[in-house]
Structure 1
Amino acid sequence: MRRLRNYHFRSVGVKLFVILFCTIVLLTSVLGLTSYYAAKGIITDEVATASSQSALQAADKLDFLLAEYEALSRQFAVDPVLKADMEAVNSSGATTVAKTAAEDRIRRKLDSVKGSDERLFGIRLVAKSLVDAESYKSTGTSSVRSDEGVLDRMKQITAAKGNPVWFPVRPKGFFDAYSESSLTMGRLLRNIQHPDAEYYMLIEIKGKALTDVLSNLHIGLAGEIRILSPDGDIVYGDDDALLGQSSFIQIGAEQSKQENHSFTATDEHGDSQLVVYQPLSIAKWTLMGYAPVSDFTAAAGKLLYITLSVVLAAAVIAVFIGYMLVRLIGRPLGKLAELMEEGEKGNLQVRTRFKSQDEIGRLGQSFNNMMEQISRLAAQSNSSAEEVLATSEQLVAASGTTSLHAREVAMATGEIAQGAVTLAAEAENSNRNVEIMGGKMNEVAEMNTVLDSSAESVITVSNQGTELMKLLVKQSESTMDMMNLIQENSTKLRESTHLIRSILHPMIAVNKQTNILALNASIEAVRAGVAGRGFIVIADEIRQLANQSNQSIESVSKITEEIGRNIEDTAKVVNEAAPLFREQISSVRESSTIFESVKKEMELFIGHIGHSSASILELIEFQQRLGESMASVSSVVQQTNASTQEVASMSSQQFIVSEELVVLSAKLEGLAEDLKQSLISFHV
């Protein structure tokens, strides 16, 4: 049973089934998984590009907002009226009325600016001494505090020497006195001639103003928007509790080198996040947004399910095709192998029932013809053995009787004719040996005839194998021509992708130029004020259309790159497979040469058999001549001794002949029994 299982496992049908099944399933799986991961990568890249563009626009808006307040602080710094009022307030020679009027003008100016901008908590001018009585503020602002944190922030403003300083969003404002967060810009209003009249100008902006600016920036379904300081601390975030803390996701030197300002990283929970960022030019901060990659690649999961379904369908088809191969090739070959094993055991009644007209059917017909010939030969040998056995039994009985009578006569005449009998006995022995040698010669001649017939059958099978190998060579050459055609088509497709890239480059340049023109138009419209608002909308629409066109062109470019890579992979696989097909053709041609060599060797073998048969015929003729010579010698001996020892010679000769006949009859009977036993194993 174990041997039978090994035969089934090693059969040609099972091997073809395993190879076909593994090839189909492997190619389908590789193609599906490659498409799945390629789709995930394309989706992630597209989302990263779109998000980067959105982050760029949001950063531009933030810069515009911050630049607006820096311009406001610059107006205060160069306002001669405000400067004169601050000098009057701090002048010891000014009257109380003049100081009161100056303070009133300062407060009204601050209130007017604060009232015209609802995004402001307030504007305050703080004296260097941080004394509340010497400070001025717009309505709605709280009192000044002078704790250690406030002093540190004031020192930063002093160190800036009149340049604006932006402070991160604080949950309760610059002085920790509000109920909501605020963003503060500080600037020292310098006065070289009157240092006592220098004030800290603090513009406190509501944190909600940043939220409104960033409201149009959305990344994924659960994305977060943050503004980070150069040290990686959170300047702004959706959760005020995180303000001032270090961000888990940092923008390092390696990530900052990305051209599209995007990368992937893991958050504190170990989830993969798509991160986009854009540096701000005003406050030296970085706008960063991130969202789980799974939000964008969830749609690609359907492609994985489709891949699994296709792999399952391919496996079912491969099983069906493999089953057909096993049924059409494996089963007939296995059945033929079993029949040959039965024939090896001596069962000559086995026959094939192949009805196909292909090589397997022809092989089965040749097997049946071979078994028919062997059966006829075995039947003839069995019949001859039975006849020899019957004759030997009769010969044993007759020789026994003759030996008994000869022994009685020899006992009376043995002493008289001993010398003559011995000479005659030797002559007779030689004659019988010559006859036996002639029989053996005839048997060898018959065996040569059988070998000649078998050699002709082998030549016939070799001719069939040679024709089959020639057909296989033609099929392999046709397959090689198809591989060459695939290589030519891959080259043409590669040239087409290069042409598409060359067409896309000018379009990308036009879109970039359009985007820049739209941005310049927006800036000019802002400078124009109310008269340019309608043009701002048109410029934004043009920019959006340019961005959409740019995204579409980039998508087409990436898809073209993907097609190019697939074409390169296909060409690589075809180039790797071509040498294998060439080696296969070479192996088939070598096999055909081997069949031709076998045919030539069998023809030489038939020639040797013919020479052997001719030699045996010559030996038979020499044996007949030798027999005649030995008979003549025996006749001469008998005639010489007839006159003196006729009775003794005849009696002795009869006794010796009888004894030899008994021995030879026994040997003949043993040989007949052995031949019959050897033929019993054959079932005809």
Structure 2
Amino acid sequence: MRRSWIIRFESVGMKLFLIVFCSIVLLSTVLGLTSYYTAKGIIMDEVAAASGQSIVQAADKLDFLLAEYEALSRQFAVDPVLKADLETANNKQVGTVSKAAAEDRIRRKLDSVRDSDKRMAGIRLLSKSLIDVDSYKSTGTGAVRTDEGVAARVKQIEDAKGNPVWFPVREKGFFDVYSEPSLTMGRLLRNMQHPEAEYYMLIEVKGSAITSLLDNLQIGADGEIRIVTPEGGIVYAADSKLLGQEAFIKVPDMSKGRDKPNAAGGPQLNHSFTAADEQGQSQLVVYQPLGIGGWTMMGYAPVSDFTSSANKLLYITLSVVLAAGVVALLIGYLLLRLVGKPLGKLASLMEEGEKGNLQVRTNFKSQDEIGRLGHSFNRMMEQISRLAAQSRLSADGVLSTSAQLVKVSGTISLHAREVAAATSEIAGGAASLAAEAERGHRNVEVMGEKMQEVTELNATMDISTGKIVAISGQGSETMRQLVEQSESVLNLMNLIQENSANLRESTHLIRSILSPMIAVNKQTNILALNASIEAVRAGEAGRGFRVIADEIRQLANQSNQSIQSVSQITEEIGQNIEDTVTVVNEAAPLFGKQIASVRESSAVFGEVRSEMEQFLGHITNSTAAVNELIAFQRQLGDAMANVSAVVQQSNASTQEVASMSTEQSVVSEELVALSGKLEGLAEELKKSLVSFQGSS
């Protein structure tokens, strides 16, 4: 029973049924789910765009409202009348009447502003000392309550340096004294000339004003609208208990991705995303940054509020998939009837034919592929029946032929063994001849290697001889240059002797010149002495002349010293010249002998070079003779190699003939064996054909 189920499951009909069923169901499911998620995405995009547009409009309205209060605070900051009244109220030198009048004008101005705007909870000018007595407020506002929280908020106004500062909606107002939530804007009214007249201006807006502004804004059926700070703190919410708490759903950092302009030139409304709330429910979130305080208006609603209509499409998809499954079952059953059943019947008939029953036939009436397959099966079985009958007749013929083939194969095997023995003897002789030829070839190769070594030695000697000749040429050239240099030195020695003689004569001439100069110097010294004596005799009248005489005597002494120095130097120069002449006269014969030796060495180098050139010629002739001998050795080696190759080829051919003869003998024996096997196979074929039914 189990085998029947496996066969039925693995049948072609069952496979076609599964393919059709799975294809139809899968395509229907994919198409339905794709349509569902596409429709869901389109709905979410449209809702996000519409909600985003509503958020943008509400944010613009809120920005406009808050901008009005900032403009109002700027008017107070630049109002000269209010500024003068504040200075008067804080001037201690002003009388009580003037001060009271100024304070009355301040309060009436605050009351008029508050009465003109019903959305305003109150307006207050808070003293920098935070004392209620020194502050001014409109009617209907509560008293000042100071604590650490109020002081911290006032410190923010102080740090803003006159710029407006917005504080989130607080459940009981800025001072925690109101009965309803309020939104507060603070600004420092600066006065550079009178710092004591500076006040903190606080404009408190009712939280209900923002609620009424956002009443028409609805995100989904259960959506909420909130205003949050960049850190995620809740500035405004419909539930006042949430004020000041941290929002669970955070708005993305707006500084990382600014709005990009669309084709119309305005900002793109792509401020939307989905996130989970505290309960884990998916929410569609749309947001728009406000121009006041860096806050962001955020609205969100459950995604299920918008996708409920798309769920109908999911139910339709499931219904279509179910219907497609039923249709696929019907189509599969039809395929089983039209394809699976005929193929199963044909497989059963093939199994009967496999057992040897050649009488089986199909009875398919259809003209499709299965019908054609049944007709082909019938024709195939008829041809197999005819083939079995012919095979029986052929087996009888093969059986008689194999007996004759056994006899002929025995005769051929005997002759092949005789040819193989004769060929083996011929192969032995050829092998001996090949060994002798190989030995002679190796001797010729050894002789060639020795000749090659001689050639290499001659080449090395040739290179060395060439180097020696080149070195001899360089030595000859060097000796020639040395001879020329020695002759030049000898010429210089002769010039030194001539110059020394000239210097000796110049020294004698200098001495002859110095002698008159010494005499003149002595005479000048005597004249200077006489002039000094005469100046002394003249007394005061000859004082100037005496000074001149002293100077002349000093000059004469200096000249005498210089002449003595020159004379001494001249004597030393003369002595050095005499010494130089002596040395040069002694060195001149030595240079002559050195030149003679150098010339003899140059001649020796020339003879060595000529001898080496003759030796190089002999080496060249020897190398040429060795090269001719190598050529003859190569010819002899080639001849021996040819002989060895011919012998080896003859030996190989003989061995091949012997091998072929041996193989022929083996083949003959195998032929005898195959003939026996063929006879046995013919008997077996004849017996096997008997098992086919319907063969004649």
Range of TM-score over shorter length: 0.5 to 0.7
2:177 counterpart residue number: 177
CA distance in 1, matches of 2:171, 2:327: 66
- 1:12 positional shift: 2.0
Change (3 A) 1:44 1:676: closer
- 1:374 positional shift: 7.4
- 1:173 positional shift: 0.5
1:349 touches 1:683 (CA, 8 Å); kept in 2?
A: no
1:124 counterpart residue number: 124
Q: Which of 320, 330, 335 matches 1:325?
A: 335
2:369 counterpart residue number: 359
Q: Which of 311, 315, 324 matches 1:314?
A: 324
Task: Determine what percentage of the aligned residue pairs are the same residue.
Answer: 69
SS of 2:149's partner is helix
CA distance in 1, matches of 2:255, 2:48: 14
CA distance in 2, matches of 1:301, 1:256: 36
Q: TM-score with structure 1 length normalisation?
A: 0.54
CA distance in 2, matches of 1:438, 1:269: 92
CA distance in 2, matches of 1:226, 1:145: 28
1:596 counterpart residue number: none
The worse-fitting range, judged by mean Cα deviation, of 357-366 and 106-115 is 357-366
- 1:150 positional shift: 0.7
2:122 touches 2:141 (CA, 8 Å); kept in 1?
A: yes
2:450 aligned with 1:440, yes or no? no
Q: How does 1:662-681 map to 2 (within 5 A)?
A: 678=691
SS of 2:122's partner is strand
Q: How does 1:95-494 map to 2 (within 5 A)?
A: 95-253=95-253, 257=257, 259=259, 260-346=270-356, 350-368=360-378, 440-441=396-397
2:21 aligned with 1:21, yes or no? yes
The worse-fitting range, judged by mean Cα deviation, of 64-73 and 286-295 is 286-295
Change (3 A) 1:326 1:123: same
CA distance in 2, matches of 1:295, 1:114: 42
2:128 touches 2:199 (CA, 8 Å); kept in 1?
A: yes
Q: How many residues get paired?
A: 403
Q: TM-score with structure 2 length normalisation?
A: 0.54
CA distance in 2, matches of 1:676, 1:360: 30
CA distance in 2, matches of 1:39, 1:255: 33
2:440 counterpart residue number: none
Aligned-CA RMSD value: 3.2
CA distance in 1, matches of 2:256, 2:249: 13
CA distance in 2, matches of 1:50, 1:365: 71
2:49 aligned with 1:49, yes or no? yes
- 1:103 positional shift: 1.6
Change (3 A) 1:201 1:352: same
Change (3 A) 1:257 1:683: farther
Amino acid corresponding to residue 245 of structure 1 in structure 2: Q
Q: Deviations over 1:268-294 (max 9, x none)?
A: 222221111111112221111111112
1:92 counterpart residue number: 92
Amino acid corresponding to residue 234 of structure 1 in structure 2: I
Q: Deviations over 1:386-422 (max 9, x none)?
A: xxxxxxxxxxxxxxxxxxxxxxxxxxxxxxxxxxxxx
Structure 1 runs not aligned, ≥5 long: 385-436, 446-670
Change (3 A) 1:254 1:344: farther
Amino acid corresponding to residue 56 of structure 2 in structure 1: L
Amino acid corresponding to residue 46 of structure 1 in structure 2: E
- 1:683 positional shift: 13
The worse-fitting range, judged by mean Cα deviation, of 64-73 and 26-35 is 26-35
Amino acid corresponding to residue 440 of structure 1 in structure 2: D
- 1:198 positional shift: 1.2
Change (3 A) 1:201 1:228: same
2:230 touches 2:253 (CA, 8 Å); kept in 1?
A: no
Amino acid corresponding to residue 346 of structure 2 in structure 1: L
CA distance in 2, matches of 1:254, 1:126: 35
1:346 touches 1:682 (CA, 8 Å); kept in 2?
A: no
Change (3 A) 1:90 1:10: same
SS of 1:273's partner is strand
1:70 counterpart residue number: 70
Q: Deviations over 1:316-344 (max 9, x none)?
A: 22222222222212211111111222343
CA distance in 2, matches of 1:123, 1:43: 46
2:386 touches 2:695 (CA, 8 Å); kept in 1?
A: no
CA distance in 2, matches of 1:156, 1:82: 24
1:264 touches 1:272 (CA, 8 Å); kept in 2?
A: yes
CA distance in 1, matches of 2:130, 2:255: 43
CA distance in 1, matches of 2:395, 2:100: 157
- 1:72 positional shift: 0.9
CA distance in 1, matches of 2:227, 2:386: 101
1:234 touches 1:244 (CA, 8 Å); kept in 2?
A: yes
Change (3 A) 1:377 1:265: closer
CA distance in 2, matches of 1:438, 1:250: 96
CA distance in 2, matches of 1:4, 1:342: 18
The worse-fitting range, judged by mean Cα deviation, of 216-225 and 175-184 is 216-225
Change (3 A) 1:87 1:332: same
